[in-house]
Structure 1
Amino acid sequence: MIIAICDDNERELEQCKRQLVQLASIHQVNAVFSLYHKGEELLLCLQDPKKYPDIIYLDMSMSGMQGDKVAGKLRGQGYMGEIIFSTVSKDFYTTAFDVRALHYVVKGETTAEKFEDIFIRAVKSVQEKQTEYIMCKGVGEFRKIEIKKIHYFGVTKRIVTVYYNNGQFHFNSTIGKVELRFKDYGFVRVHKSYVAAISHIRNISFKEITLDTGVVLPVGRYYYAGLKREMEIYSEAGTVV
């Protein structure tokens, strides 16, 4: 889970991070943190949707662009993650509602218990959004499969097999359709017959990839450059700041 914190006050920025690191540890949330000192800096770094954080703690009153304006621009460009305002006033309820903020933290007044409650709510909301499914139709059978549990897809004579945590399932389709359908869910075409989940790839070479399950898939020459690019983007998005 990626959590961004934006505040032009260095002390408050670091204090917020310390609190969140502690809460993430207590609640066993695997989180990385990105820190920003101005709203303009945050917007500049989040131009690519693939780098969107799951949660943003956003200071309302900053030099330059104010937090509500930053949040408005983020929503306008399609950001669907959780926004939590950090403010010195309790009078921003309407503003928070306008940009679909989850909540706001009042500096100097929000208790540790309330801060923790807001964090837990944000994490649960992110987890619920990430739990997405596909419905596959096989021969006389439908199967609902959680997307994040899928390791890869393979095709043989227009029969696609999806491999996931608890097994595999066959359905009629083409690998091209699978590639298009799942590219925005973190999947990449690695071969004319395979589409793999980037999060499950542990090693790549010019000729093959190895998944975290130990499965080895071939890499097509035509797909290697795109695969390498997607892996680099994925690695950069997970960098700890």
Structure 2
Amino acid sequence: MKENSQNQLIRRRRLSMQILVCDDNPYMVNRLFDLIQHQISLQGISSTFSIVSNTDDLHNLDYTAFDLAFLDVDMGEYNGVDLARKLHAARPDAVIVFVTNFIEYAPSGYEVNAFRYVLKNTLEETLPEIILLALDEYKKRHRVVSFSMASENIDVPVENILYLESNHRTMIMHLINHPRKDFHFYASITLMEDALSPIGFLRVHKSYLVNMEYIEILQYGKVRLKNSVELPVSKNNYTEIKQQYISWRGGLRWNIG
């Protein structure tokens, strides 16, 4: 019953990707493109590529359009980490992979929530697997939650859900980066927890289920989310709640391939 409920609540949007490949070396950018396109095509995914080797072209990009990006870190006068900052600000859900010769730049990736860091001298060995992992991550970030409200079927992308609040028999879905402030519909918080906890939601209180992506501070008795939202945290279950959050956050740490 639980599995059926999850399948009804959560589904993936149709997979069609915009991919940015950026390196100031024309040979390297074409090499990357060939490897990435080959692996993407093997997965049967519709994709459109923007290939950039002239950094002057970066000023003309629509950063909101990209789902997946493979970025060189050191591009002469242009810093690939700065480019990643722009992309992350425009599309927080974009999956960013750094491709470079310089291992010392690795810590910079945490600032922009980079997914992986690939060394150029291991591309053929490591990049195919990292592409598959990046696609899995993209799919996770592009699920939608489906529910009915006033006889209308509603789909809300998971990344637009800040938290859910249970008020008697009514579920209030509080939104972020969305035209609406919230949705009200009938559902139990237990059902929502069963469906959403595997994809990054945490039950911090009997009445609140939060999107861990938007947690800024979690401490004894309260949690602060983006948009300056503060919610109570169960003091009796705080140790378990904290451990679940630490485990989830630790799973986001990317490695070097």
Q: TM-score, normalised by structure 2?
A: 0.49
Larger RCO of the pair (alpha carbons < 8 Å, separation 6+)? 2
Residue from 56, 79, 82 that aligns with 1:25:
82
Whether 1:175 and 2:189 are equivalent positions in the alignment is yes
Conserved in 1, the CA contact under 8 Å of 2:202 and 2:209? yes
CA, structure 1 residues 186+204, in 2 after alignment: closer, same or farther (shift >3 Å)?
same
Q: Secondary structure at the match of 1:221?
A: coil
Whether 1:144 and 2:200 are equivalent positions in the alignment is no
Whether 1:132 and 2:143 are equivalent positions in the alignment is yes
Match of 2:226 in 1: 212
How many residue pairs end up in the alignment?
164
The answer to which of 181-190 and 128-137 deviates more is 128-137
Unmatched 5+ stretches in structure 2: 1-70, 89-95, 103-112
Which structure has the bigger radius of gyration? 1
Q: Offset at 1:223?
A: 3.2
Aligned CA-pair RMSD: 4.3
Whether 1:80 and 2:125 are equivalent positions in the alignment is no
Q: Offset at 1:190?
A: 0.2
1:32-88 deviation line (CA, Å, top 9, x unaligned): 869999xxxxxxxxxxxxxx97456366769xxx826x956x79xxx53159xxxxx
The answer to which of 138-147 and 28-37 deviates more is 28-37
Match of 1:40 in 2: none
Identity in percent:
18
1:147-206 deviation line (CA, Å, top 9, x unaligned): 111110011223211110221112222111111211232211101111001122222221
Match of 1:5 in 2: none
Unmatched 5+ stretches in structure 1: 1-14, 38-51, 84-124
> Which contiguous aligned blocks of 4+ residues in structure 1 show a shift greater than 4 angstroms?
31-37, 58-62, 238-241
CA, structure 1 residues 53+180, in 2 after alignment: closer, same or farther (shift >3 Å)?
farther
Q: Secondary structure at the match of 2:133?
A: coil
CA, structure 1 residues 189+33, in 2 after alignment: closer, same or farther (shift >3 Å)?
farther
